[in-house]
Amino acid sequence: MSQILIIYTGGTIGMMSDPKTKVLRPINFEQIMENVPELEKLNCKIMVHSFEQIIDSSNMNPEIWSELAHLIKDNYDHVDGFVILHGSDTMAFTASALSFMLENLAKPVIFTGSQLPISAIRTDAKENLMTSIEIAKAKKHERSRVPEVCIYFDYKLFRGNRAFKYNSSKFEAFRSPNYPILAESGVHLKFSINDIRQPIDAPFTVHRDLVSDVAVLKLYPGISPKVVETILNADVRGIVMETFGAGNTTTDKWFTDLLKNAINSGKVILDISQCKVGTVELGRYETSKELKDMGVANGYDMTYEAAITKMMYLLGQYREPLMIKELLETDLRGELTVS
C-alpha cells in the first residue's frame, strides 16, 4: 500500500466561513478530512504534517521553504510521495523554489489548493486534493509516474517551475504557456510521458541555503534614471530585469552605463520578458545585443517566479558572479528551454 505524506501549510482549501462575520478563518486538518470522507476509499496510507501556525500564502518566505525542504528530506525514504496544501497566491513561487532545492528528486511533490474553501458547496478543493493524492501515489514498474515538483489545479498537472497564477476568480487559476501540462484528469488520468523529467542515478540532495538579496527592475517607457539607479545600486547581489518582448530595453546611454556599472560591481542581472508567452533572445535585435555583450544573463522562457527563486537558490550556492550567470542560463530542473 502506498504511503503519502500530506503537508498542510494553509490556504483557502483549509478555510471555513464564520456564520456571523462571513470572514474566512483557518480550520485544522481533521476538519478538512471530515469534509472529504472519500479519502478513506483511496488505496493508500495517508500521513499528515500540519504546520503549527497555519500560513496565509502571502506570508510565505524562504525560511518556510527551507522548513518544507527539511520535512521532505526527513520523510523521503518513508513515503512514496508528497502532497502540499498551500495557498494559491504564492504557490508557484514555493513550487519553483523547491524544484531547485530538491536535487535528483525521484518522487512526486504535488502542490495543490483551491479557490473555494473545502466546506463550500461548489468547492474545487475535493477534486484537487483527491487527484493530487492519486498522482502522488501513481507508479509504473515500481517507479513514480511524475518524479517532479508539480502544481495540480482544475484537472491539470503543471511542472511547478513553469506555472504561474493568472486568475483569482476562476477554478482554472494556473497556466503554463511555455511548457505542456504533465497530466490531465478526466475519466482516466492521462500522463504526458515525454514531457515528464526522469530522475538520474544520483543521490537525492536537499539544498536549504537561499539568499533573498534580489531586486526587481521592471521596465516601462519613460522610466527615469533615478528609478533605475536606485534599484541597480540597492544592496543586493542579484537583479531580475523584466524587459520588453524578446528581451529588449532602451538603448539610451545612461541606461546601459548604469547596467554596466552594476555588473562591474559584481551584481548578476537576469533578463526575462514581461510577455507570458515566448522567450528572451538576447542579440536578436540591436536593442538587446549590447545587453548580451556586457554580460546580462539570458532568462529565456523562465517565469517570473522561477527567475526569482532560481536566483535565490544560486546566490545561496555560489559567490562567483560568472558561475551564477552561467547556471542561470542552464536548464537545471526543466525551468527553461534554451533556444
Continuous segment of H or E residues that includes residue 191: strand 189-191
CA distance 181 to 184: 7
Check whether 255 has a pLDDT greater than 70. yes
Contact present, 36 and 118 (Cβ < 8 Å): yes
Pick 44 or 23 by higher pLDDT.
44
On the question of a common fold for 2-206 and 214-328, the answer reads yes
User: Where exactly are the structural domains of the chain?
Assistant: 2-206, 214-328
How far are the Cα atoms of 247, 276, 295, 318, 334 from residue 238, in angstroms, in the given order?
Answer: 17, 22, 13, 12, 21
CA distance 337 to 165: 20
CA distance 124 to 145: 24
CA distance 136 to 46: 11
Q: What percent of the chain has pLDDT over 90?
A: 78
Q: Which amino acid is at 33?
A: M
Instruction: Report which of 19, 165, 185 is spatially closest to residue 95, judged by C-alpha positions.
Output: 165
The predicted pLDDT at position 296 comes to 97
Instruction: Report which of 162, 139, 112, 138 is spatially closest to residue 307, judged by C-alpha positions.
Output: 162
Check whether 25 has a pLDDT greater than 80. no
The predicted pLDDT at position 28 comes to 66
* Maximum mean pLDDT: which of 5-14, 47-56, 96-105: 96-105
For residue 338, name the pLDDT band (cuts at 50, 70, 90).
very high
Q: What is the CATH number of domain 2-206?
A: 3.40.50.1170
Residues 150-204: tens digit of each pLDDT: 999 999 999 999 999 999 989 989 999 999 999 999 999 999 999 999 998 899 9
CA distance 256 to 289: 11
Q: Enumerate residues 6+ apart whose C-beta is below 8 A from 273.
A: 242, 243, 244, 245, 246, 247, 279, 280, 299, 301
Average pLDDT over the chain, rounded to an integer: 92
Residues 314-328: tens digit of each pLDDT: 999 999 999 999 999
Residues 267-295: tens digit of each pLDDT: 999 999 999 999 999 988 877 889 999 99
Cell numbers linked to 183 = 497530466
- Among positive and negative, which fits the CA dihedral 46, 49, 54, 60? negative
Q: Which amino acid is at 188?
A: H
Residues 221-247: tens digit of each pLDDT: 999 999 999 999 999 999 999 999 999
For residue 118, name the pLDDT band (cuts at 50, 70, 90).
confident
Longest dimension (CA), the chain: 66
Helix residue spans in the chain (DSSP H)? 29-35, 62-75, 91-101, 125-137, 225-232, 253-264, 286-294, 304-317, 321-328
Check whether 124 has a pLDDT greater than 70. yes
CA 322 to mean position of chain CA atoms: 25
The predicted pLDDT at position 244 comes to 95
Check whether 29 has a pLDDT greater than 80. no
For residue 121, name the pLDDT band (cuts at 50, 70, 90).
confident
Q: Which amino acid is at 138?
A: A
Q: Which amino acid is at 287?
A: T
Contact present, 103 and 199 (Cβ < 8 Å): no
- Give the active site residues: 12
How far are the Cα atoms of 4, 26, 280 from residue 11, in angstroms, in the given order?
Answer: 20, 8, 33
Topology given in CATH for the domain delimited by 214-328: Rossmann fold (3.40.50)
